[in-house]
Amino acid sequence: MKHNRLLSNAIAIALGATLLGACSPKPPAATAADAQAFVKQLNADLASLAIEGSAAGWVQATYITGDTEMLRARASERLLEYFSKAIKESRRFDGLALDDDTARTIKLLQLTDQVSAPAPDDAAKRAELATIMARMEGDYGAGKYCVTKNGKEDCRNIDQLSVTIAKSRNYDELAEAWAGWHSVGRQMRKDYTRFVELANEGASEIGFADLGAMWRSPYDMKPEEFEAEVDRLWGQVKPLYDQMHCYARAKLAGKYGEDKVPAGKPIPAHLFGNLWAQQWNNIYGDILKPFPSVQAENVNAALVKQSYTAEKMVKQAESFYTSLGMPSLPSTFWERSMLTRPRDRDVVCHASAWHMDMKEDVRIKQCITPTEEDLGTIYHELGHVYYYLAYKDQPFMYENGAHDGFHEAIGDTVLLSMTPGYLAKVGLVKQAQPSREAVLNEQMKIAADKIAFLPFGKLIDQWRWGVFSGAIKPEDYNKAWWNLREKVQGVSAPVERTEADFDPGAKFHVPGNTPYTRYFLSFVIQFQFHRALCEAAGYKGPLHECSVFGSKEAGQKFQAMLAAGSSRPWAETLEKLTGTRQMDASAIIEYFGPLMGYLKETNAGQKCGWDGEA
């Protein structure tokens, strides 16, 4: 659920004769020609750095050792220095009348989250920041929960603990697994506190109030306006989430008892089948499914029966994109991607897509198993890959999404076309005319993934913005985290938490320092994209039944948006595809219309809501 671009991960190699040499001394007066030369050099330098820089990150993520961690840290340090100086140098051109491309490139440089933690000027602090960032990500990747049983140490990694959380229905066993994984955050707490200090210093030196303000800056809004926009979108979808929460709580109370899941209260976070309660799909089948006797065909069983390997699953996902008229994946993708967990080393199994050379060396890193969930993740990651391939001929600074939510939305837009009709076409289910009950089951299954995620997608950065601004103090990190989890998401910690814990660190994107609001935005605009593509395909009918598989008309419109990269303001790119310049969650409400009606009817008479909700 992540795309890895050279700058997004702050990795690069020695600069040589690059823009750094041009960053000082400051010329007495800058001209438009100077700005054009600056932009040309910037794009050239970064393009030349991409191969070695991305390689440092790839090796560290796929071969976790002290050596690769050190190499990643040193590479990060050099890029952080480069970018901080380049941003400062670009200030020479403020106020000049510039051509559109030059002005936009400089704006993207100055208002960028591509370096997610700008380095301070001080060389020692820069080195310290790079080391901390690499160490936190390494701690997460190598994290394990260990207990001594019968005189032997028994350790479980995130994969094994995730299986327990997904499959067990024993309340205490779930609580142990949840607490076991969340213990990995404790060792990061001191590092994270220092990271905030250093990253904020770097952000301040390039003109931002703090790192959170810097992260919010690329959206063509003031930071406070962007926060209000996120709140507006959340307000559009919150009524549907509230109904989902009320329904889930009643079902979980029936399973575990009202003493453990009381009405009108937040739900214990370990009961949703996911280590972070961010998606509820793992409890869909036996707990949330509205009509248990109405059986859908088992895609997991079909994948196993048809001997789907990791490579075959990726080939299946590729075939959707090529059906829209997009190219086949290059041969290097198959030679260089990591598709399964290696047996001989620690790796970061968190699925991600990589653009190694800013041209055609594209890869994914994922520990694939033959499950419907992993198949969907592949479709998502290939969305990043096809975005990379579409904009590969843009200048380097335009090789990114229109905004970061776009990148995350592409693959998930395709997932919305993985309807029962589509799955039948590719042989994973048999063709069937769905009944009302089957439709509601399918809508609940999708909502357990999509709608359940929305408050979690919102609150991670809401917490970090407070941390970066100083509104949340280090001594209150965990308390503030759980205040937000309860207020926004309606979930509570299953066991006692203190400030000795650092539960945000148990989520990859916090130690990995990846902004998270992009995922919230992507979950909104993917439905907006889906509706627009269905219209382009000439589809008439309920939105939830639409699949654009095989539609060259939809593919042509999709590809045109992808090829623009970040060369135009995101609102303009959005308008060309959807006809509006505003992000809009109304397509979500349209898509889940049948489910919303069912939930309101089912929840009638229940004590919905929870204490202190937002």
pLDDT in tens, 493-503: 999 999 999 99
pLDDT in tens, 19-49: 334 444 555 689 999 999 999 999 988 777 7
Q: Domain for residue 445, yes or no?
A: no
Residue 5 has pLDDT above 70, yes or no: no
Domain that holds residue 59: 3-125
- How many residues belong to the chain? 614
Q: What is the mean pLDDT of the chain?
A: 91
Name 148's bridge partners: 153
Q: What percent of the chain has pLDDT over 90?
A: 76
List active site positions: 350-351, 380-381, 384, 408, 509, 519
Q: Domain for residue 271, yes or no?
A: no
Whole-Å CA distances, 231 to 215, 226, 515: 17, 9, 17
pLDDT in tens, 393-422: 999 999 999 998 999 899 999 999 999 899
Q: Domain for residue 38, yes or no?
A: yes
pLDDT (0 to 100) of residue 70: 86
Q: Domain for residue 50, yes or no?
A: yes
Q: Which of 484, 577, 569, 572 is nearest to 527 (CA)?
A: 577
For 428, other C-beta atoms within 10 Å of its C-beta total 22
Q: Are 294 and 438 in contact (CB under 8 A)?
A: yes
Q: Domain for residue 9, yes or no?
A: yes
Instruction: In whole angstroms, give the CA distance from residue 477 to residue 140.
Output: 18
pLDDT (0 to 100) of residue 350: 87
Q: Domain for residue 135, yes or no?
A: no
pLDDT (0 to 100) of residue 296: 79
- Number of structural domains found in the chain: 1
Q: Domain for residue 11, yes or no?
A: yes
DSSP state string for 540-585 = -S-GGG---TT-HHHHHHHHHHHHTTTSS-HHHHHHHHHS-SS---
Q: Domain for residue 232, yes or no?
A: no
Q: Are 72 and 56 in contact (CB under 8 A)?
A: yes
Residues in contact with 343: Cβ distance below 8 Å, sequence separation at least 6, in sequence order? none
Across the range 126-148, mean pLDDT stands at 91
Predicted confidence band at 590 (pLDDT cuts at 50, 70, 90)?
very high
